[in-house]
Amino acid sequence: MRMRLHLVDLPLRHTFTIAHGSTAAQRSVIVELDDGRHQGFGEGCPSAYHGISAEQIANELEAARELIESTPLDSPEEYWQHMLPTLGGNRFALCALDQAAHDLFGKRAGQPLHRLWGLDPARLPLTNYTIGIDTIERMVAKMREFPDWPIYKIKLGTPDDVAIVRELREHTDAVFRVDANTAWTADETIENAHALQDLNVEFIEQPLPVGDTDGMRRVHAESALPIIADETCQIEEDVAKCAGLFDGVNIKLTKCGGLTPGRRMIDEARRLGLKVMVGCMTESTVGCSAIAQLLPLLDYVDMDGPLLVAKDVATGVTFDRGRPILPPENGAGVRLLR
């Protein structure tokens, strides 16, 4: 098995702003595993907020090349476990490799991953389309680029958050989700939740900074809306910490290390009675096609990365007004555009 690394630039449709900062383009790492007959693809999407660059991801994978190419791919889960001691310090790199291993394994088996896992794709959750922080006029214009979308995710973290949502509500009847990306206090969250409930907001994502356990305990008890963990829930061990503080968790494959730990996190969240969401980090169709294989297990999904980029690098999952359409290919269904 041979590994190829592709560093790709993903220009965004619009500068994307959240409470942590802005970006106009995303550099991503695509891992290709080639066994001579089939090619599997996975994506490592870097994050300045987490101090991870595309070059770091690529360098750590390159340093592990001998191990990666010499380890038999008898199952993706065993393969992941073999890679953990070497790549566990960079879950972004581990995610890219794990997704590629799953894609290759499914293509070898002649089955889409969700079929290999025994999942029924008859009913899939709708994906939201994310609107980054901007002027009201530009936020409305972004919604109009995707008219009749059933769910919009509104990024917040400004002094006028409720007013922003109230104004956007004048332009659509779609469901809203809001994501403060740790920018609120407990008092603000409780106050905002009551106002947002009347504006057809479904839930609030990660309003408080990571580690504010006392504040989250208050919010969980007093919020008029469900609260979903994001920054607080990054790796497997974090799921149990969210029970009693959040109503659900948003699992990011890039942060946790791929499909292998992601599936275990879903199982743990279910065991604890938490709602389950899987989210993207502006990945291309490569990373979002891996997410798509998990859809039958999810309550909510945020996999709009391919919609946020101006030029994609692969084929795979597609969308019809929020409805994900699983690719017809085996594995994760990814084919790289050459």
pTM, two decimals, is 0.96
Q: Does the pLDDT value for residue 83 go beyond 90? A: yes
DSSP code for 231? T
Q: What is the mean pLDDT of residues 136-149?
A: 95
Domain boundary among 86, 110, 134: 110
CATH number for position 190: 3.20.20.120
pLDDT given at position 18: 83
Number of domains the chain is built from: 2
Domain shared by 187 and 307, yes or no? yes
More confident residue, 273 or 18: 273
Please provide residue 329's backbone torsions phi and psi, each rounded to the nearest 5 degrees.
Answer: -75, 165
Q: What is the mean pLDDT of residues 228-250?
A: 98
> What pLDDT does residue 49 have?
80
Average pLDDT over residues 269-277: 98
Q: Write the pLDDT tens digit of every residue in 155-184.
A: 999 999 999 999 999 999 999 999 999 999
Does residue 20 surpass a pLDDT of 80?
no
Tell me: pLDDT of 84 over 90.
yes
Q: Name the least confident of 11-20, 66-75, 100-109, 132-141.
A: 11-20
142 and 71 in a common domain: no
> What band does 92 get if pLDDT is binned at 50, 70 and 90?
very high
pLDDT score of 48 more than 90: no
Q: What Cα–Cα distance (Å) separates residue 329 from each residue in 63, 79, 277, 326?
A: 31, 22, 24, 9
Looking at residue 131, its pLDDT comes to 97
In this structure, the answer to whether residues 95 and 177 fall within a common structural domain is no
Mean per-residue pLDDT over the chain, rounded: 96
Residue 240: per-residue pLDDT: 98
The pair of structure tokens assigned to 285 is 């169709």
The verdict on 30 and 135 lying in the same domain is no
Domain boundary among 58, 85, 110: 110
Q: Which of 85, 110, 135 is the last residue of a domain?
A: 110
Regarding whether 56 and 25 lie in a shared domain, the answer is yes
Q: What pLDDT is recorded for position 17? A: 81
Residue 77: CATH number of its domain: 3.30.390.10
| Whether residue 123 sits in one domain with residue 95 | no
Instruction: Note whether 100 and 121 are same-domain residues.
Output: no
One domain for residues 76 and 144: no
**Distance (Å, rounded) from C-alpha 265 to C-alpha 275?**
11
Sequence-ordered list of residues with C-beta below 8 angstroms from that of 81, at least 6 positions apart, any chain: none
81 and 106 inside one domain? yes
Contacts of residue 137, defined as CB under 8 A and 6 or more positions apart, other chains included, come to: none
- Tell me, yes or no, whether 141 and 222 share the same domain: yes
Q: Find out whether 317 and 325 touch, Cβ atoms under 8 Å.
A: yes
Residues 254 and 223: their CA atoms lie apart, in Å, by 29
Do 29 and 158 fall into the same domain? no
**Domain span at 271:** 116-336
Q: What is the mean pLDDT of residues 233-251?
A: 98
Same domain, 91 and 196: no
- Classify residue 297 by its DSSP letter: G
N- to C-terminal Cα separation, the chain:
20
